Structure 1
């Protein structure tokens, strides 16, 4: 497999122009760029991964209950929603892989401040885009400032340059962006129906159960993704929740919840004889 496998021709042309021009562009802010440079990470160019994914057949599953609304319900995760979840994962994975491929072609050691967006283009078409700034570990650092190249492939992180600097000065380095997606459904039983329409302030226990479970499952998937990437820890950087209802049949209504959680996997590296630098200053009163 070639290093440019999977990239469209327009992306290959853009990378070729960037390499030929010698101009190193970056999406980093001034503080992020300065912080990254302090640990020997120099910007080498902007990189992007993009895919437009059509979510046609998204699967379907009810809550598993039939008849009236008086049955006691439980939250259920159904495998028949797998086509939808798999398509979303494919969108994220492809965008991040193409981002990493562009970074490799620029000779980068990592990509910082990665921004991931999903835009609905209509007709169930969604654009997944990952943008970031590729950086290369400089060779001019030595002694206490030396940071070894410990990863075989470019690291990906949505952390800023300042945060990456603090990590590396304390013996940690990002490995990859990790995420988890979970989707669950719950039947609106009589208790849920009554609580959600009560004239007094009360907890809707069915919805609480649904949202708590789906967040828990998303976190479990983040942990599994990090383990697959050989990360020793995860810094959670973002979490979102979407809840909607559907009516599979007359007198039968369900609620669905989808949670997405993102983070950066990190791994420790050893610098023998070097103590971590403090990341804050002490202020003393002048009296």
Structure 2
């Protein structure tokens, strides 16, 4: 059909909803009374609730398609083979392709929410909530959804593109009052895969209390890589820092695709971080005011007021 949506711009249903909101002259939001008052106090007004979503099919998922490849050459050996490393998405492991497609899905959802904000005449979105969930109708599809409230600043100066942030109304007001502005809602992710080598298996079967060093390395590495992914996105948008909103770490075991008939196992760790990159802004400073000090003693105050300008006593 020639009228089908191609994926560019606003979906037809969203465009119709935005047009209805603009023609009605009213706005809706999920802001509390306190959030609304805080926004007004720093010169912003809500213009409407906005959202964006994207459903992505994650192809080549599952054990035999290579996303969760441990890259461990000694996986075929039940004993020995040396210590396994972490196959990390941030270092170019096969899981990097999965992180890339999920990042594209996040970007699509955010772009559509920002487009709704612009269509309403907003300057940015506050209290944006980003969720990622399986698409019920298809097990190998994920839905990225982000929803928030579009706001508009008083005055005639407009930002080149809308900002997006997870901060609620009060948090946004405090940020602006302190001399900072939000730039963009970010989603950092890392996937690491580590083979359960002989040393790891021995530690998990020990009679003594001992650290499983391989698994410690796995979780520390993916968390660090997720932070690096978040920082890299912040730097590309010109941010000075990131305010974190939420973080999650999922770990599960999978049969190793490299072990042959030995039925060795890998462990997969997936770290995600959600936050807002922020930047400093500078306002014109007023010159300091001089403070006039008058003596408290009445007689001395009268002498001071009668003293000629040339008197230097």
TM-score tier, shorter chain, comes to 0.7 to 0.9
Match of 1:260 in 2: 272
Q: How many residues align?
A: 264
CA RMSD of aligned residues (A): 1.9
Match of 1:281 in 2: none
Aligned counterpart in structure 1 of residue 140 of structure 2, from 124, 130, 133: 124
| TM-score, length of structure 2 as denominator length | 0.79
Q: Which has the larger radius of gyration?
A: 2
Cα distance 1:274–1:50, how it changes in 2: closer, same or farther (>3 A)?
A: farther
Aligned counterpart in structure 2 of residue 269 of structure 1, from 259, 264, 281: 281
- Asked whether the 8 Å contact 2:125–2:151 carries over to 1, the reply is yes
Give the deviation of 1:245 after TM superposition. Answer: 1.3
Aligned counterpart in structure 1 of residue 77 of structure 2, from 68, 82, 98: 68
For structure 2, which runs of at least 5 residues remain unmatched after alignment? 1-6, 288-313
Give the deviation of 1:165 after TM superposition. Answer: 0.6
Give the deviation of 1:90 after TM superposition. Answer: 1.4
Q: Does 1:193 align with 2:184?
A: no
Cα distance 1:169–1:92, how it changes in 2: closer, same or farther (>3 A)?
A: same
- Asked whether the 8 Å contact 1:57–1:83 carries over to 2, the reply is no
Cα distance in 2 for partners of 1:166, 1:89 equals 29
Range that drifts further, 20-29 or 197-206: 197-206
Range that drifts further, 72-81 or 33-42: 72-81
Match of 2:307 in 1: none
Give the deviation of 1:5 after TM superposition. Answer: 3.7
Match of 2:301 in 1: none
- Asked whether the 8 Å contact 1:48–1:129 carries over to 2, the reply is yes
Q: Secondary structure at the match of 1:73?
A: coil
For structure 1, which runs of at least 5 residues remain unmatched after alignment? 140-147, 276-287
1:218-266 Cα offsets, whole Å, 9 max, x none, are 1111111001111111112211111111112433211111111121111
Cα distance in 1 for partners of 2:185, 2:283 equals 24
- Asked whether the 8 Å contact 1:211–1:257 carries over to 2, the reply is yes
Match of 1:285 in 2: none
Aligned counterpart in structure 1 of residue 172 of structure 2, from 153, 164, 173: 164
